[in-house]
Amino acid sequence: MMRIDILTLFPEMCETVMNESIIGRAQKSGKLLVFCHNIRDYTQDKHRRVDDYPYGGGPGMILQAEPICRCFEAICEQTGNRPHFIYMSPGGRVFTQRKAVELAGYEHIAILCGHYEGVDQRVIDQLVDEEISVGDYVLTGGELPALVLADTVARLTPGVLAGEQSYEKESHFSGLLEHPQYTRPAVWRGAEVPEVLQNGHHKNIEGWARDQSLRKTLERRPDMLRNAPLNKTDIARLEEFLAEPAELG
């Protein structure tokens, strides 16, 4: 069973998200453990202060090392092991589905949410195993990125989803973007579901879905094709798509 610990100044915010929907049901059924820890509970300051001015000057405040360290040590003591420790930072490597699969291989991960202008560098140097970013932009805190990472990793945990097929054909997992999806009615406001999806011929449906994924990836994320597992048929289809005349206006 995977365990995820989130170190944050806003545990209620994180709990609200993680206790809902699929992830919430997974916790209730014992498939997953998620704990949110308030870093303020581990400060020795009587005012529960966890930040201070940066050495060398500059705007904003920095989260102090000691409360974070004490919180992390408490988690290690409680579980009897040291989790893989991640700091959500705009300076980290960009999060990908491949990284999510890698992290899902751990039994226990802990995620540190930064705030203000960041955390004391000594926490990163001495405790953190890796820094991860969810994109090239800056948020007011690390809670939203931590929730994105936790949700992405948690849903890959065995038993959280109905089965591996629930995610193996999704965008990014296979190296391609997912093909279009449709449901009833067959005709909605004049727009009809592709006929191939209605005839029940599984081989034709699989071929259509693969073509749609290739075309969509080529149009929207051609950079993904460099690392996608493509066969000779895929390459031939991509060449055909590229040879198609461009639509005017």
For 112-128, the pLDDT digits (tens) are 999 989 999 999 999 99
**37, 161, 50: which is closest to 111 by C-alpha?**
37
Average pLDDT over residues 235-247: 92
Two tokens at 140?
């007011």
User: Is 39 part of a structural domain of the chain?
Assistant: yes
Cis peptide, bond prior to residue 185, ω within 30 of zero? yes
User: Is 89 part of a structural domain of the chain?
Assistant: yes
User: Is 160 part of a structural domain of the chain?
Assistant: no
User: Does residue 10 sit in the same domain as residue 72?
Assistant: yes
- Domain containing residue 176: CATH number: 1.10.1270.20
Among candidate residues 124, 154, 184, the one where a domain is terminated: 154
User: Is 163 part of a structural domain of the chain?
Assistant: no
Contacts of residue 66, Cβ cutoff 8 Å, sequence gap at least 6? 42, 43, 44
What was the pLDDT predicted at 116?
87
DSSP 165: H
pLDDT over 70 at 164, yes or no: no
Q: What is the pLDDT of residues 136-162, one digit of tens each?
A: 999 999 999 999 999 999 999 999 997
User: Does residue 197 sit in the same domain as residue 98?
Assistant: no
pLDDT over 80 at 168, yes or no: no
What was the pLDDT predicted at 246?
79
User: Does residue 74 sit in the same domain as residue 104?
Assistant: yes
What was the pLDDT predicted at 172?
54
Average pLDDT over residues 92-120: 96
Average pLDDT over residues 177-195: 94
Q: What is the pLDDT of residues 207-232, one digit of tens each?
A: 999 999 999 999 999 999 999 999 99
User: Is 117 part of a structural domain of the chain?
Assistant: yes
User: Does residue 56 sit in the same domain as residue 32?
Assistant: yes
Which amino acid appears at position 122 of this protein? R
User: Does residue 143 sit in the same domain as residue 207?
Assistant: no
User: Is 96 part of a structural domain of the chain?
Assistant: yes
- Predicted confidence band at 17 (pLDDT cuts at 50, 70, 90)? very high
pLDDT over 60 at 166, yes or no: no
User: Does residue 115 sit in the same domain as residue 176?
Assistant: no
User: Does residue 201 sit in the same domain as residue 112?
Assistant: no
Among candidate residues 123, 154, 185, the one where a domain is terminated: 154
pLDDT over 80 at 165, yes or no: no
Range of the domain at 100: 2-154
Q: What is the pLDDT of residues 31-55, one digit of tens each?
A: 999 999 999 999 999 999 999 999 9
68 or 174, which is more confident? 68
* Strands in the chain per DSSP E: 2-8, 32-38, 51-52, 62-63, 84-94, 108-113, 130-133, 187-188, 191-192
User: Does residue 127 sit in the same domain as residue 25?
Assistant: yes
The domain total for the chain is: 2
User: Is 192 part of a structural domain of the chain?
Assistant: yes
For 133, what's the count of Cα atoms within 13 Å in the CB-facing half-sphere? Answer: 11
- Domain containing residue 60: CATH number: 3.40.1280.10
What was the pLDDT predicted at 173?
64
27 with 20: CB under 8 angstroms?
A: no
User: Does residue 193 sit in the same domain as residue 109?
Assistant: no
User: Is 189 part of a structural domain of the chain?
Assistant: yes
User: Does residue 186 sit in the same domain as residue 145?
Assistant: no
Among candidate residues 154, 186, 210, the one where a domain is terminated: 154
User: Does residue 17 sit in the same domain as residue 134?
Assistant: yes
User: Does residue 139 sit in the same domain as residue 236?
Assistant: no
- Predicted confidence band at 170 (pLDDT cuts at 50, 70, 90)? low
Residue with tokens 């039994």: 107
